Every structure is written in C-alpha cells, then in structure tokens.
Structure 1
C-alpha cells in the first residue's frame, strides 16, 4: 500500500529551539505509522531566535525536506539595534513606558509594513517554488503551520492555484494574541490583518487549533470545520538523576514582561520571612529568557538571593530540570486574550511526576487541563491565601519526602495519539 504524500509548510524546524518546533517535528515523527508520507518545506537560511542542535537527531534520514531561501528584515533591523531586534524576534516586548524610541519605531514598522509578519517576503518565492513541486509530485494535500501566519498565505495562494486539500494549523491565534496589540497598528493595518485572517479561515478546507477557546473564537469567523489538536508529550529518554536537594520551584521557558505574577513573589517573600526552614531550603530556577521587569519585581520582593537564573538550555536539559525540580511553575499573562494559550511545556510538566503551580486568567484552557488530569493547582492573580497554603503544603511534603503528583488520563496527550487524530483529518 502506497503512503499518502502530504506537504507540510512550516517555519520552525531543527536546529530551531523553543516550543514552535516541537509540534510538527513530533507529528512528522509519527505520521508514517498511519500510512502518511510527510514532506517538509522550510526556509533555507532562517533567522531562528533560539537554536537547539540536540533536536536535529530527531529528524529521520528518510524524510524529504525541501528548503528555499528567505529574506528577513531582522538582519537589517540589527543595524539599528541589535538588542531590540533580538528581543522582538523572541517575542519579548517591553512595557510601553519603558520602550526606547528605536523599539517603538521597530514595532511600528513591523506591525504596519510587514503584514501579517516579518516573513511575508517568503510567500511569493515559496508559492513559485512549491507550484513546480506540487505539479511534479502530484501533491493532493498541504498543511500550513503558523505563526508566522505568513505561511498560511502560502497555503491560500496554492489553494487558489490548485485543487488541493488545505489544512491550516494555528499554534497560536492571529489577531487576538497578546503581542498583536503592541504592534502600534494603524486602523488600515488592523483591518488588513483581520481580512487576511478571515480569508484563510474561510478558504482552508480544515482548521486545526491547539485550544478550545481559539476554536470558539474562530467559529465566529468561519463555518469551516475546526478540530482541536493540542500539543502533547513524547517519551523522553532521561539519564539517571537525583532529585534536587533544595526545595526548587522551576519555571521553564520565557518569562515576558507581562508574565509577572507579583502575587507569587509576595507569597514567596512572606514565606522566606515567616518560615526559617523555608528560607534555608527554597530556590527559584528560571530556565529560559527572563525580562528585566520580572527581575525588578523579584528584587523588589527581596528574592534576588534565591534566584538561579539559568538562561536558555537545550530541550533535553530543560526536560532534566523538569524531572529534578520539586515544583514546576507555569505563568500566563492575566488577560482575556490568553485564556486560549496552552504552552507546549504544560504536557511535558504533566508527565514529569512533579506538581504544577499555574497562575493565569480564570476559566482558561490550562486550568481545565490541569484539573482534568489532576496534575497540580491553578490560581488567579488574586489568590494570595490559597497560593500560600498550597506552597506551604508542598514544602511540608518535600520535607517528608512525599512530594509528587498523581496524574490521571494523560495517554490522550501522547504525541502518537494526537498524530492519530491528525491522520483522520488527512
């Protein structure tokens, strides 16, 4: 039986690091088990903000990977400000009041001259290049994954040109994602974003989203079928390790300016003052990029001496931090727009056997999944008392060597199970 060939158009691919690369790397890994042969199309010379060489070994030698050059404005932007271009490309945007003139200008240019994003220049050459490949290989099905949402415009153009089945995968929303509001958009630019989003949602044959909130949001714009396929976890081979001897609370991933739970820093600061044992055994690990605003809040709460600011590490090292830490921290911006965000690391947290403490907006998808799977506790930005009680309970369990999580029903979030759901759509 011949495998069905499917063309996957994505920007993030090894050696890119960060959460964006994991989703399609794992789908591609398992698709062949469901009689589907993936062909991956990526940029030849991308400007990845994070690099993780360890992920290259996960790409099969048998996989066909097509590459085509891309021109990106971040290289030009570095002429004006290396620091601003690097942080903006990572998604770290300072608060309005703290933005330099150069950063404000770059955000204005990025939002109004590069619609929908800085990879728009790759659309036309990609459509030309892929048109030849589609004709030659008789490709019947394509998938585009965004952000960057420019890649959906490649799908849109190919769909108009050929009789293809097109699946548009949204790892994040488009016009309602938090940073969209920070792009200093003119009214005409905002309308253009919404118009392109509407076209993609109404012309693609199938929409895939990673959250239930995004599905509801998109149902107001399109009648096309929408399937929720969340991110998930894969079996990770971890070398033998010992649990941290300290009471470590670890946050894995970026902590942006607005992901700054003052309430947590206050709880930890009070526990340090009130509980001598806690102050001697507590340590806070930051594994990933941390904004200056967060570090200032930490300092203001007299917690600077308790911080282990590790910085960005490879995915394998991040998994090791997850397994060894006593508690895992998940923080989301307190906003209506972030209720739909389900970070990929949540699923890795869930299988690490460590209790999760999550802080974010009420009634979010993360809260739903954590409660469903019994993998931790979820708090709003005003839950001082209950947050303090849980951290103290966990600390006592740590002292008694009984601290662990008791998850239920995790199997449906395994990457292979999720790929099975994808294969049914194909």
Structure 2
C-alpha cells in the first residue's frame, strides 16, 4: 500500500468546511490502496471548533504533530472578537475601528503569506525525518493557510519526492485579499510566493474550473479540479418545517448581503395572502451586521431566527428540514469561481436551492446541470420573485420537492477515487 503524507492546518476539532475536505479524503483513501499519514499543528488557534468531527477521524491513522507559534493568540489580548473574525477571513469593511484597521495592516504586511508562517521552518526540519522513517515519497499540502504550501516547497528543495498542492481557495485573487491593506511590497511578495508554489509543485489540485483557468496563466504544471463534496444522506423520515423556511447555513458576510432578496420577500409579505403567516428566515452561522441591518430595514426581523454557530450534525438536520436552502456569494468578478462547500450538502439534502451570486458564477451551471434549484444575479428581482412565489404555492399544497439528478459525482467517496487516481498518475 502506497503511503502519502498530508500536511494540513485544519483538522478536528477545527470546525467549518475547511476541515471536512481532508478529513473525508483520509477516511476513504485506504479503499484505493493509499495509506494516509497526517501532519497537523499540535497547539492550533482555530477560530471555530466542532468536537463532533473528532468522532469521524478514522481509527489507526498515523498523525504527527508539531507546535506552532500563533500570533493570533497575542492579538487576542487586544481584542479576542476582532482577532477571531480576521483569522477566519471575516473582514467587515464598514465601521472599522482604528484597532481593527491596524490589525488588518499588520496581518497583511508583516505576516506573509499569513500568520501561520512560523510553522514552516520547524515543520520542514521535522518532516524530513518523518518522510525517511515512514518511507514516504509523496506529499500533499492543503491551503489556506497558504503558508502550508511553503512547507511543501521547502521539502521539495531538500528531497526527491512528488508534491501535490491542494488549493481549497485561490491565493492572491481571494475576495478578502484586497481588504488586507497590502503595501506594494506585500502584494508583490504574495504574487512571487504564489508563482513559486505553482511552478514548483509537481501537480496542483483546485476546487473550481475558474481557479484552474487562473492558475493556467501562471504555470504549465498539471492541474486537476476536485471539488468539495457530501456524505450520502438518509432523508427518509425527515419532518419538514411547517413554516416556509428559507435557511442559510454558514457564514453570511456583509459582501454577500442579498439586498434584492430581502426586498422581494418584504414585497411578498405585503402582497401575497398567507405569506407573512408562513415565512421564516433561518440563519445558522455568523451573520454580518450589515446583513442584519438590511433585514431589519426590510421589515423582516420578526420573521427571522439567528441560531449562531451549530455543530455539523445539527447543520445537516437543519438543511434537510428546511423548505428552501439559501446560497449566496459576493457580487464580484473574482468570486465567480468560489464554490461554497455547503452547496454539496445542500444537494444531498434534496431541498430546493435558492442561489444569489455574481454573473458567470460557476455554481449556476452545477445547479442547473443537477436540477437542484435556481440561481440568480444580485440584481435580479422579478424572476427571483416569480420563483419564490411558485415555490411558496407548491409549499402550500405540500408539494415543494426537488428532483435533482447526477449528484453522486460529488460524493466524498467518488471524489477520493479521483484523488487517488491523480496521486498515482505519473506526470514526470
């Protein structure tokens, strides 16, 4: 059985979508004759934790750990709340305090590529011994944080091995990058490190076709699209909400705020008989102040429930019981290749997906091809209203269902099969 070393920052008990990708790959790789060995930080400062993920770590997996110096712990002294939001990539642009602006400037210009960079050199030294001991000649690095890729870069320079760099998100084109108040030097340094990783790794893995196209303009190396995915769900016996619930599961940042959706819903509350008695907006996860204010101004606050962060199992239950599942992305050119991990769990829940995103959003084609919902641009209003009204009428008749097809291509096991094939494919 071939051994592969997986280097990742996020691992249980980390919460959120970032941890699930490699937790599930590790779970299934043995079925494809690959033995995963995992390397993670010993004392990470995760912005979100979910203890339930600890129960999903496969038995017998070899896990190596090394301490990491986390500057975010020092920043917690100044403001724990602001530090937590910045470390998780949640950056509000409105009403920033002097402290928050200063923290962003320091984060962007002193910690390149990110605040976990101090884990790089100790990890390289430690992993050289591990690779020799375990007789491993294939490594995989997963970012963000993209400093993890610098560990792969360092090992590649010192040893003969195959290196796959997995990008769960883009690097310099990610939405929050422009908010980090980067100096020209910092911008150029990010670009330089990005190019170095993309041209030094033997193979690249990305989660969207858009990111693949972007990286193809930088490197000639092989690039494979392997999206995130879902675990098969047993939806039998699920009791649907009695209300016309429109649920959003996960972070809803200010930039994603779908103002036209709130306007449409407010209009239906006033115009459509029975709508105000049935409507329930439900949010599980962080919701920005800007979004909450827009909901308040639209007169929808009394129809809204903010649940805060819930563990993964609860999130799955909420998805399967909701009448409609809301998916939103920032209305920018650079976000059209962002495919939220929740999309695939939404598909597995088999409830209608209502999406609002940028023009050319890659998600729109995926939803269309699987017949799993409807996607609209942020500027849409009449078409959006028409679909919501149609779904509401079906809900009233207890006939609101979705006949999605061809979603098994996004199951975690199927995706792991693609990964295993890519690992063993000789490209050099």
TM-score (norm 2): 0.97
Number of residue pairs matched? Answer: 423
1:230-241 counterparts in 2 under 5 A?
Answer: 230-236=227-233, 240-241=237-238
Note if 1:161 corresponds to 2:167: no
Note if 1:143 corresponds to 2:140: yes
CA contact (8 A) 1:14 1:56 kept: yes
Query: Aligned equivalents of 1:178 and 1:200: distance in 2?
Result: 20
CA contact (8 A) 1:322 1:349 kept: yes
Query: Aligned equivalents of 2:148 and 2:235: distance in 1?
Result: 35
CA contact (8 A) 1:208 1:228 kept: yes
> 1:285 matched to which residue of 2?
282
Note if 1:11 corresponds to 2:4: no
Assess, with a 3 A threshold, how the Cα gap between structure 1 residues 62 and 155 changes in structure 2: closer, same or farther: same
Shift of 1:239: 8.6
Query: Aligned equivalents of 1:238 and 1:65: distance in 2?
Result: 34
Matched residue of 1:243: which SS? coil
1:36-185 counterparts in 2 under 5 A?
Answer: 36-95=34-93, 97-185=94-182
Structure 1 runs, 4 residues or longer, greater than 6 Å off:
none
| 1:384-407 per-position Cα deviation (integer Å, ceiling 9, x unaligned) | 000000000000000011101111
Query: Aligned equivalents of 1:193 and 1:91: distance in 2?
Result: 16
1:20-419 counterparts in 2 under 5 A?
Answer: 20-95=18-93, 97-236=94-233, 240-419=237-416
Matched residue of 2:263: which SS? helix
CA contact (8 A) 2:284 2:315 kept: yes
Matched residue of 1:346: which SS? helix
Query: Aligned equivalents of 1:126 and 1:12: distance in 2?
Result: 15
Unaligned runs of 5+ in 1: none
Query: Aligned equivalents of 2:374 and 2:200: distance in 1?
Result: 40
Query: Aligned equivalents of 1:182 and 1:289: distance in 2?
Result: 19
Note if 1:423 corresponds to 2:425: no
CA contact (8 A) 1:6 1:141 kept: yes
Shift of 1:418: 0.6
Unaligned runs of 5+ in 2: 424-428
RMSD, aligned α-carbons: 1.0
CA contact (8 A) 2:40 2:65 kept: yes
Query: Aligned equivalents of 2:91 and 2:170: distance in 1?
Result: 18
145-154 vs 274-283, which moves further:
274-283
CA contact (8 A) 1:92 1:257 kept: no
